[in-house]
Amino acid sequence: MENDNKDMESGFRIHNILLLESDFKRVPNVVFDDPSITHDIRIEGEVTVNAEKNIVSVIQTLHFSQILNEEKQISATIKMIGIFEKTGESVIDLENFGNVNGAAIIYPYIREHLTSLSVKAGVGIILLPPANFTAYNK
């Protein structure tokens, strides 16, 4: 039996999610359990829309730092791009989709990449908190 239920489609299709940039640095002696450790987490996004082709490109960049006594013990920059295509009739406009939904789709890939890098660097598991991209774009 052929699945012809168009109501199940989201209205957007993922073409690709790619790593554009990955930079990770650590000091030789990272401190793990000091209560004065702070984390600086910044997420930047850039959306490009090709309305003729119904294509949305979303570039998302994470800047992460672990700081102890004003020294950056760990720093990372991760940049990824997602390419999405609008299919059918979606009520979400392309720009809004990119800023909210596209960013929310890419973010778990960035989180996983940072976690993997941190394990390989021997600094323990860095787990980024979830992000609410709806709130970011209000």
Instruction: Give the pLDDT score at 25.
Output: 98
Q: Cβ neighbours of residue 95 under 8 Å, at least 6 residues apart?
A: 47, 49, 56
Q: What's the rounded mean pLDDT across residues 23-38? A: 95
Residue 109 in tokens: 């890939």
User: Which domains, from first to last, does the chain contain?
Assistant: 10-136 (3.10.420.10)
Tens of pLDDT, residue by residue over 103-112, are 999 999 999 9
- Integer CA distances (angstroms), 1 to 4, 5, 62, 78, 103, in order: 9, 12, 44, 43, 35
Q: In this predicted model, which residue has the larger pLDDT, 76 or 10?
A: 76
**Do residues 117 and 24 touch, judged by C-beta distance below 8 A?**
yes
Q: Which value, to the nearest 10 degrees, does the dihedral of the CA atoms of residues 134, 83, 58, 117 take?
A: 100
SS3 89: coil
pLDDT at 92: 83
**More confident of the two residues 134 and 72:** 72
Range 54-65 average pLDDT: 97
Residue 67 has pLDDT above 80, yes or no: yes
